[in-house]
Amino acid sequence: MAIYNVVTGIDLDESQLIIIVYKALNLENLYNVGEDFIREDETISPFWFKEPIAGGAQKSRMLDKARFEKMKDEYYALRDRDAQTNLPAMETYKRLGLSGVADRL
């Protein structure tokens, strides 16, 4: 944190910085949802589910689509988001001081 504070001139502790990052991620998510970015858009190229890995420790293995979707569910749960809509609960926006922004969408 000392480096961040010296470089930016802003005196923050780690917990304050985490809240700022969390706000930014939720604002980005809110924007994406407002632009009709849905769960199905949050994926990787189908290539990775069809083509085996060419080399290295995972050679000949492929990514499993069902496991990938389960990992998305787990990620959404960690971020307090609904697994289908990818939206956080309104309580999350209120806690972060973003309820006014969420109300507009």
Query: For the residues 46-72, what does the mean pLDDT come to?
Result: 91
Q: pLDDT tens digits, residue range 1-47? A: 788 788 888 888 889 888 889 899 888 888 888 888 888 888 899 99
CA distance linking residue 84 with residue 86, whole number of Å: 6
Burial of 93 per CB tally in 10 Å (0-12, 13-18, 19+): buried
pTM of the predicted model over 0.75: no
Fold of 2-104: 1.10.599
pLDDT at 105 exceeding the cut of 70: no
Domain extents for the chain?
2-104
**Most confidently modeled range among 35-44, 69-78, 89-98:** 69-78
pLDDT at 94 exceeding the cut of 90: no
